[in-house]
Amino acid sequence: MIWINHNSSLILGIGIFALAAFFLLRDGLKLKDVLLLCGLLVLLVLLWLPLRPRQKLPAQGAGLLVQIGAGLPVLLEIQSPY
């Protein structure tokens, strides 16, 4: 279940591509259908690249440690990469 949660956008993209391939290729293989599927694949990959889960490195870790050490109240926001 965790694997499905982490890769739900990838699973959805594969499902959309498979559904489009089913409807486009059911009457035979044509150049227009292949070009549409290639375009859809490029679109799905370009949409997935900025939306995929990935870990970001902390940008201001040293400044945060200085603020905590000085006794200043600090708001910490922790986000999961998924």
Can you give the length of the chain in residues?
Answer: 82
Per-residue pLDDT of the chain (82 residues; tens, 9 = 90+): 777 777 888 899 999 999 999 999 999 999 999 999 999 999 999 998 887 777 665 666 667 677 776 777 777 777 776 6
Q: What's residue 82's pLDDT? A: 62
Q: What's residue 56's pLDDT? A: 62
Q: What's residue 68's pLDDT? A: 72
Q: How many domains does the chain have?
A: 1
The residue segments making up the domain with residue 50 are 2-69
Could you identify the residue written with the tokens 């902390």? 58
Residue 74 lies in a domain: no
**Nearest-angstrom CA–CA distance, 38 and 44:** 10
Q: What's residue 42's pLDDT? A: 97
Residue 79 lies in a domain: no
Q: What's residue 77's pLDDT? A: 75
Residue 21 lies in a domain: yes
